[in-house]
């Protein structure tokens, strides 16, 4: 998985680290932080490689000419749409919804076959997993497009991992009068607060 915060960016922009002693750990912590954000959000933030998801004809995800891509997760770009009969549905034969993608709504929710195309969702032998949607299944496909809130969140989590690694204990209570430097347990509260608007809700 491609990182959307590099070790060099973390060292120079967040921690002002010049040496290379911790480079291996930093790389692993950045990856762990990125994975942790995906798990917290219940979404894939960055998908820079094509994957394919399949949909049943007649299932809950297809209604008439509309395929609800969001039922399978976030889809930020489409490479190919292959109908259940093995024939590609070209980009001139369908449209997507919403029409405009935004920072807070960055993904395609529906693929709608155009009525004038004469195409319908169909299959030849088996209705299960009949329709294949290949594309970038994530919120963004380019690291440069990932909002700064996510990048700062990864940096904060990575810094937190570095501090907990060096702490004598992991779950402590600060005692300022005693001059004890402690590391709070769990995630930094600012990370959760900053990314909460993007978290996928589960009914």
pLDDT in tens, 84-136: 999 999 999 999 999 999 988 899 999 999 999 999 999 999 999 999 999 99
Domain range annotation of the chain: 7-44+146-198, 51-136
User: How many angstroms separate the CA atoms of 160 and 196, rounded?
Assistant: 19
Give the pLDDT score at 56.
Answer: 96
Report which of residues 202 and 95 the model is more confident about. 95
DSSP notation for 96-153: EESSS--SSS-S--EEEE-GGGT----BSS-STT-EEEEEE-SSBSSGGGS-HHHHHH
Tokens, residue 82: 């292959």
pLDDT in tens, 10-59: 998 877 788 878 889 999 999 999 999 999 999 999 999 999 999 999 88
pTM: 0.83
For residue 75, give the nearest of 104, 110, 35 by alpha carbon.
Answer: 110
């Amino acid at each position: 998985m491609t990182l959307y915060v590099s070790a060099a960016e973390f060292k120079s922009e967040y921690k002002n680290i010049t040496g290379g002693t911790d480079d291996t750990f930093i790389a692993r912590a950045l990856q762990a932080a990125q994975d942790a954000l995906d798990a917290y959000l219940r979404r894939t933030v960055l998908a820079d490689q094509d994957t394919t998801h399949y949909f049943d004809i007649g299932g809950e995800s297809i209604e008439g000419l509309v395929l609800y891509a969001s039922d399978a997760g976030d889809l930020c770009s489409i490479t190919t749409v292959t109908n259940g009969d093995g024939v590609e549905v070209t980009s001139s034969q369908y449209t997507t919804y919403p029409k405009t993608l935004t920072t807070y709504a960055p993904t395609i929710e529906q693929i709608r076959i155009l009525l004038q195309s004469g195409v319908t969702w169909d299959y030849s032998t088996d209705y299960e997993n009949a329709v294949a949607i290949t594309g970038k299944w994530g919120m963004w496909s380019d690291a440069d497009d990932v909002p700064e809130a996510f990048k700062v969140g990864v940096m904060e989590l990575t810094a937190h991992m570095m501090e907990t690694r060096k702490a004598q204990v992991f779950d402590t209570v600060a005692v300022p009068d005693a001059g004890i430097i402690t590391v709070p347990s769990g995630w930094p509260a600012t990370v959760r607060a900053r990314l909460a608007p993007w978290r996928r809700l589960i009914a």
